[in-house]
Structure 1
Amino acid sequence: MKTTTIVFWISMLIVFYNYIGYGVILYLLVKLKGRTTAATDTVTAFEPAATLVIAAYNEEDFIAAKIRNTFELDYPKEKFRIIIITDGSTDRTPDLVARHPGIQLLHEPARNGKTAALNRAMQLVDTPIVIFCDANTLLNKSAIRNIVKHYADETIGGVAGEKKIIYADRENSAAAGEGIYWKYESFLKKLDAEYYSVVGAAGELFSIRTALYQPVEKEVILDDFIISLRINQRGYRIAYAPDAYAMETPSADIKEEHKRKVRISAGGFQAIIKLASLLNFFRHPKLTFQYISHRVLRWTLSPLGLLLLLITNVILVINAPSPWWYTCLAAQLAFYAMALIGYSQAEKQVKNRFFQVPFYFLFMNIAVYQGFYRYLKGNQSSSWEKSKRK
């Protein structure tokens, strides 16, 4: 039973560290380090030319609102260029974009995936700063200014904006769980940036120095993640701009959110292989610590640890019964029962805050197993798979 006990405690340590411990340690490290990013707070006159690149695939229902929102952004018009790329779209999205002479439309009938579309758009970007955002999001008015001010620091190679999930109180557990997850992610990104660098930007809103862009392989699924971390590999930091945010509604239902999570998980395993050098502590000590703690463990050892935690606990209850092992098993079973209730409520479009956190936590980790299986099979397409949103 000694080996089983060791596996139990190691599994518990990994899960606890990944989801709670890392945030606590990072918070303490930031406090010990002291705040060093205050310089960007006073940069108001820094206005480099910038290009906004919007990838839009079959967005005819939302593209008009997106264009209105883009024209309302507060940035000098003579320094601000807009490119919307609609490759593969089969609806009226290209036609709706073409009505606006202030926007450069790029369209090809072939559906080659988002990474191919971004590579093509980047060939036409001639400004020092490029900003990427999704077509199904709305940006706050000062988003561009709040992003570009960080580039006054020459060590900054990219800037990650904040993603906000907009949902009503009546939304179901899947929607509310997604919102809570992104609030926690935003908190960790803030700490990551203050310690050293954001670890992987979200495609809803992020920016890079144009000169640092490297064409992304066509098969890449998480283009935003790969692009930003490759800039890290070259010695630059990714700043965080919580005052530049992209707002979007949650997935339409649990099936759409499941599809999105499995795709992200498959892309995560792909990214770990493509970014293998980031696992070398001697080459990137701070970044590797953050990368493994914040990202790699979530896609590898944490989901495995959850499974081993339950299996070893059952074995210990059977073969070495004690009040402690019974208590641990009861706690785990209660947690999973709450998650199942949350799942049932999500399917029925019902929300209960008491059950949404355990449900979404388990939901994410199951998606990792499914994403890993899909990655091993090699049948995850890099083509746009538009998730329906509310």
Structure 2
Amino acid sequence: MAMPVRTTSSAGDRSPGRVSTAVALGCLAVTAYTHVGYPVLVRLAARYRGQAAADDGTDAVLPTLTVVVPAHDEEEFIGRKIEDTLAQGYPAHLLEVLVVDDGSQDGTADVVRAAVAAGAPVRLVQQAVRGGKSSALNRGVREAGGEVVVFTDANGSLVPGSLRAIVAPFLDPRVAVVSGAKKPVGAGAHGEGESTYQRLESGLKTAESAFGAVVGADGGIFAVRRSTYKPIPPGVYADDYWIPLAALEQGHRVAHVSRACAVEAVSLTKRDDFERRTRISAGIWQGTVAKARLADPRRGWVALAFVSHRVLRTAVVPPLLVVAFGASARAARRSVPMRVLWGAQVLGWSAAGVGAVTNSRSLALPYQFALVNVAAVRGGLRQLLGRQSGLWKQTSRGAWSAPGAVDQPQASTEHVVIDLTAAEQASARTGLAQEETVDAPVR
């Protein structure tokens, strides 16, 4: 009688599962480090470093200041933006407001001229041919007379005290750029998701500020020391990323102050929101490749922040998420723990999809995570193929009226200025202050 033959799995049979498991776990480990590990690390390090003494904000230490507002077809809102800026309470003898009209086809220039005629400390600079935001910022710095130049978008209202807050870090002569924060306002998953994203970003930048290593500013409000400013080269479209990286490359420091806050409405539609994120990602890809030398380990915290906060998050993690999903699916055939891990990924991506369809606020976080990562891949491809224009198209945004509660968003092809009541402004200010684990010490 023939004896039964017992078969066993060979090492070769098991190796594909082991490789898939290792690949999946490796990809997810990099993702976890980027989004959790690095933020925890830099916050703990900032706490250990301690806080610098806060500036008392007296006029004796305030620099002369030029506020540059780039504007393209902002007739409806530029007047309110001027009023909002002048209402900041910055000493009049130290302040000038400079509006750079970048080839507007509407009555933007007429509104500014009317403000000048009424005695407002405002200057108008016109560019007959539209050159894009970076061109407008370069022109604004050339025309500016202040020691510090603040850039702020025409579509955002500033929380009271923002100008005083953003100039304080310049008391340190090593600081060349200071970023403010953005407070998005809007309903639904993309509104709640954007608000959560900005809150986390502001907290991370606050911690990086302890080391003067903030790798990116917020375009709604950020400031530069005029004497250190290097003009943005032609073809660069992410000015709020390029300018801080250029300063770090020169050996200067970049700080962040969340008390300097621009309040802006989120995009009305998810398509506009996705397009905006894609443009941002393309700009980050462009700047990251151009300033790759910042990854040199000899640069210390700057290199760590650049690699962890930008290179990994924008260029590495998004494609790794795809690899992790595929590898987990393959490993799940042979491992119960990997089935659980793959199932968690399926659940997460499904939640993001449902959030995109239903606009549920409860699914804002997975929706925003998916949005940022998919847009990063699309932005990278657009940059690689040379399809990103430096002339950004305005997106539809909701409008708010004052006094009282927020109105229902109305479709608009223009930017808007959000006019908040004192209580709403105080709420925005308090919310940002609570995000901070360390309050922007720069040493």
TM-score range, shorter chain: over 0.9
Report the Cα offset of residue 331 of structure 1. Answer: 0.8
Report the Cα offset of residue 225 of structure 1. Answer: 1.0
2:61 counterpart of 1:46: yes
Report the Cα offset of residue 338 of structure 1. Answer: 0.7
Determine the structure 1 residue equivalent to 2:46.
30
Task: Classify the secondary structure of the residue corresponding to 1:86.
Answer: strand
CA deviation map 1:85-126 (0-9, x unaligned): 121211222211121112111122311111111112221112
Q: In structure 1, how many angstroms separate the alpha carbons of the residues matched to 2:247 and 2:122?
A: 28
CA gap of 1:31–1:172, structure 2 versus 1, over 3 A, is same
Contact 1:338–1:359 under 8 Å retained in 2 = yes
Task: Classify the secondary structure of the residue corresponding to 1:220.
Answer: coil
| Paired letter, 1:142 | G
Determine the structure 1 residue equivalent to 2:318.
303
Gaps of 5+ in 1: 347-351
Write out aligned runs for 1:154-169 (5 A): 154-167=173-186
Contact 2:188–2:361 under 8 Å retained in 1 = no
Contact 2:179–2:217 under 8 Å retained in 1 = yes
Gaps of 5+ in 2: 1-15, 399-443
Report the Cα offset of residue 385 of structure 1. Answer: 2.0
Equivalent position to 2:218, from 192, 199, 202: 202
Q: In structure 2, how many angstroms separate the alpha carbons of the residues matched to 1:212 and 1:186?
A: 24
Task: Classify the secondary structure of the residue corresponding to 1:219.
Answer: coil
Task: Classify the secondary structure of the residue corresponding to 1:10.
Answer: helix
Task: Classify the secondary structure of the residue corresponding to 1:265.
Answer: helix
Equivalent position to 1:217, from 233, 246, 249: 233
Task: Classify the secondary structure of the residue corresponding to 2:76.
Answer: coil
CA gap of 1:187–1:262, structure 2 versus 1, over 3 A, is same
| Paired letter, 1:72 | A
Q: Which runs of 4+ in 1 moved over 4 A?
A: none
Q: In structure 1, how many angstroms separate the alpha carbons of the residues matched to 2:324 and 2:332?
A: 12
Determine the structure 2 residue equivalent to 1:349.
none
> Matched residue pairs, number?
377
2:386 counterpart of 1:371: no
Write out aligned runs for 1:1-390 (5 A): 1=16, 2-35=18-51, 37-38=52-53, 40-42=54-56, 44=58, 45-101=60-116, 102-167=121-186, 171-282=187-298, 284-318=299-333, 321-346=334-359, 352-390=360-398
Task: Classify the secondary structure of the residue corresponding to 2:90.
Answer: coil
Contact 1:161–1:245 under 8 Å retained in 2 = yes
Percent identical pairs in the alignment equals 31
Report the Cα offset of residue 43 of structure 1. Answer: 5.0
User: Which range is displaced more, 147-156 or 41-50?
Assistant: 41-50
Q: In structure 2, how many angstroms separate the alpha carbons of the residues matched to 1:345 and 1:57?
A: 34
Q: In structure 2, how many angstroms separate the alpha carbons of the residues matched to 1:199 and 1:137?
A: 22
Q: In structure 2, how many angstroms separate the alpha carbons of the residues matched to 1:269 and 1:197?
A: 19
Report the Cα offset of residue 61 of structure 1. Answer: 2.6
Report the Cα offset of residue 354 of structure 1. Answer: 2.3
Q: In structure 2, how many angstroms separate the alpha carbons of the residues matched to 1:88 and 1:377?
A: 27
User: Which range is displaced more, 113-122 or 15-24?
Assistant: 113-122
Q: In structure 2, how many angstroms separate the alpha carbons of the residues matched to 1:256 and 1:365?
A: 16
Report the Cα offset of residue 294 of structure 1. Answer: 1.0
Contact 2:278–2:378 under 8 Å retained in 1 = yes
Bigger radius of gyration: 2
Contact 1:57–1:386 under 8 Å retained in 2 = no
Task: Classify the secondary structure of the residue corresponding to 2:55.
Answer: helix
Q: In structure 2, how many angstroms separate the alpha carbons of the residues matched to 1:53 and 1:132?
A: 5
Q: In structure 2, how many angstroms separate the alpha carbons of the residues matched to 1:363 and 1:159?
A: 27
| Paired letter, 1:341 | V
Q: In structure 2, how many angstroms separate the alpha carbons of the residues matched to 1:388 and 1:218?
A: 27
Q: TM (normalized to structure 1)?
A: 0.93
Determine the structure 1 residue equivalent to 2:409.
none
CA deviation map 1:330-354 (0-9, x unaligned): 11111111111101013xxxxx332
User: Which range is displaced more, 151-160 or 285-294?
Assistant: 151-160
Contact 1:113–1:383 under 8 Å retained in 2 = yes
| Paired letter, 2:35 | Y
